[in-house]
Amino acid sequence: MNFIKRIAPFEVLLVLVMMGLHLFAATADPYVFPNHWFVRDDSYYYFKVAQNIAAGYGSTFDGINMTNGYHPLWMLICIPIFALAKYDLILPLRVLLMVITVIHTATSVMLYRLVKTHLSHAVAICAAIFWSFNGYIHSVVYEMGLETPIAAFSLVLVIYLLSKFENEWRSNPIPLSRIAWLGFFSALAMFSRLDLVFFAVIIGIWIIFRNTPIRYFLPLDIAIIFITMTSSVILRTSFSSYNTVYAGSGIEVTMIALVIKSLSLYFFGAYQHPHTLPKWQMLRQVSLALLVSSLLTAGVYTLLVQIGLGKGFPRSAFLLDFLFSLILISASRLISAWFTTQRSYPAEAPLSQLRLQWKNWLREGAAYYGILGGLLLFYMIFNHFAFGTSSPVSGQIKRWWGSMGDTAYERPVASWDSYFGLGEDAYQTWQPYSEFFWKTSDYIRPYILPSEDAEFLRFYITSAAFVLLWIILVLINKRRSTQAFINLGIVPLFAASIVHMLSYTATAYGGAKEWYWSSQMILILLAFSLLFDLLLKPLRRVRYINILLIFTACFYGISSAENFWRTIEYTMPHGRFEADRPYLEVVAFLEANTFPGEVIGMTGGGNVGYFIKDRTIVNMDGLINSYEYFHILQSQQAAPYLRERGMTVIFANPRLLALPPYYGQFAPYLEKYSSYGGKDLLYLLEEPKY
């Protein structure tokens, strides 16, 4: 009964609308599922592997090679659903669509409750509506059939639990079991997408050091150190040289710097309350800490290079890193001093604090990181013995692609806007919100920089103006903004999102995708919610205005739901396509031009592998293949390796096979006999022609 009483009318209405609209989509013609909804090839990597696991063949895409190229939590969800594939290939897709809808709706409801509790009701309605019905979010996060629905849900769930935890720890002692449960839910977020390990680690800092300024400063310092060290290396080399030569050493030095600089900042007193010391003295301590730690970092890595454990590294980057980190870390202390109460705080020497707190920090750290680290260690050990590698082979392959500089696939970042997540396509990490800035920049075009060549400059000016407006409103409303930062988890989420983004842009990653950025989407949604709350704050003082704002938000919801319905009605029709129409025309072509039981190689092949009958599709790029095949591909022996395992046909673009990472190794073994859709159907010969 208490649970039912807590359900708001808006939540009931949102659930009914979301479930109704998606139920219509789930009952659409079979043909539209692979062609209008689950259209990404990558999603079928999950579907086919889940189908094989459910059928008892193990974790394999092709029934030949064992693979771990996926995020584990989403695979666990997919396995029981795709056990239904033995009855009908479309039935699991219908079920999965509704399962994703439940996850999507739960995420929207949690966002609504989170924002309503800490900001305002009207803003909460708008935030939930936007997350529920925005076309970009729906297409990228929820329509693809990938792990993003459970990743977004897990992120919001952890933030929601943190907001409850925030209210409790200040008035009541927190048992270790509560800390351990938070570690467990953070681990779920990590397993929903393994790159959320940064989020899980930083959340632990936020929880364990909750009584000290460390909880605010350390997450931001981690993000700053990651930015300054890697960007310093790029400035001293170039993006091309960094990606092909220096990315490995850059990350190694960054890891060393994180440890040394964090400890140095602590023992030099840079993690005290910003009003403990005069500002000049605080800045002096920060400067000394960074100077000492920069020298130590340079010395340690130089020693590692001398003994053969390190790689080549531009030494002048240490100086740039010192200067950049000094500016940014000093700025973080000054900004925190501005936001906090202007009164004196007792000084606490770092060693004294450590003597008083180390037992409690150790206990709670063991409870949180014991769960998080223990589960991660178990996952890595299991992968090592089951698949021959402790991490997903797909990520290793994409970083291998990035180290080549020029491949047939997506390249690593090559510009500063992409490095900071402001680039185009996959590296525009703040979609769909950037669309608002594009439209605004187009609107002001007749008045500001009307030239077509100034399109990007006008966009960045518009974006900067809104960021400046947000900063001004936050500074004017310091107290409310500070509470929002804390209760909405904006500080740890911001730091984790920066590190998460740089884990791709600063590591020569060669295949980033637009669906990677769920934490950034949620972060900016919360930031925009705070912006609108502060803008509406003066209006809420007027009598009855809150009711008007809520009604306005509801009208926005009706309009958004109507537009969303029109999209679903168009893309997921009923009775438009014949029931016997082939799900994919390419599948019909391959079935007509190959023999039953044939093993066919494709550079992708996810959707074909799921829908084709009586044939086996082998993934040749390695993303959903074995760790052994990854090394075979690197050693230029993929053609005889695959031929030995029964592959007789390849369906691919020969021009693509001539480029890295294939380097033309298949060419001597291929003989064309048909073509379709820009690809050739080729025999894979037993012996090379030349």
pLDDT(18) > 70? yes
Give the pLDDT band (50/70/90) at residue 157. Answer: very high
233 contact partners, CB below 8 Å, separation of at least 6: 242, 246, 249, 250, 253, 313, 314, 317
Interval 175-196 mean pLDDT: 96
Check residue 341 and give its pLDDT: 67
**CA 43 to CA 39: how far, in whole Å?**
8
Are the beta carbons of 669 and 638 closer than 8 angstroms?
no
Q: What would the pLDDT profile of 635-659 be if each residue is shown by its tens digit?
A: 999 999 999 999 999 999 989 999 9
Check residue 1 and give its pLDDT: 41
Check residue 449 and give its pLDDT: 73
Q: What would the pLDDT profile of 238-268 be if each residue is shown by its tens digit?
A: 999 999 999 999 999 999 999 999 999 999 9
Mean pLDDT of the chain: 92
Per domain, the residue ranges of the chain are 1-30+68-171+542-573, 219-340, 585-684
**CA 52 to CA 79: how far, in whole Å?**
9
pLDDT(456) > 70? yes
Check residue 445 and give its pLDDT: 74
Structure tokens, 76: 């666990």
Check residue 343 and give its pLDDT: 59
Interval 517-541 mean pLDDT: 92
Q: What would the pLDDT profile of 267-283 be if each residue is shown by its tens digit?
A: 998 998 887 878 888 89
Interval 482-501 mean pLDDT: 94
Interval 494-501 mean pLDDT: 96
Regarding pTM above 0.75, the answer is: yes
Q: What would the pLDDT profile of 76-99 be if each residue is shown by its tens digit?
A: 999 999 999 999 999 999 999 999
**CA 107 to CA 123: how far, in whole Å?**
16
Check residue 3 and give its pLDDT: 43
3-state DSSP assignment of residue 658: coil
Give the pLDDT band (50/70/90) at residue 311. Answer: confident
Q: What is the 3-state secondary structure (H, E, C) of 19-76?
A: HHHHHHHHCCCCCHHHHHHCCCHHHHHHHHHHHHHHCCCCCECCCCCECCCCCHHHHH
Interval 288-304 mean pLDDT: 94
Q: What would the pLDDT profile of 591-628 be if each residue is shown by its tens digit?
A: 999 999 999 999 989 999 999 999 999 999 999 999 99
**CA 564 to CA 136: how far, in whole Å?**
11
In terms of pLDDT, which residue wins out, 335 or 133? 133
**CA 565 to CA 513: how far, in whole Å?**
27
Check residue 345 and give its pLDDT: 62
**CA 349 to CA 269: how far, in whole Å?**
7
Check residue 358 and give its pLDDT: 92
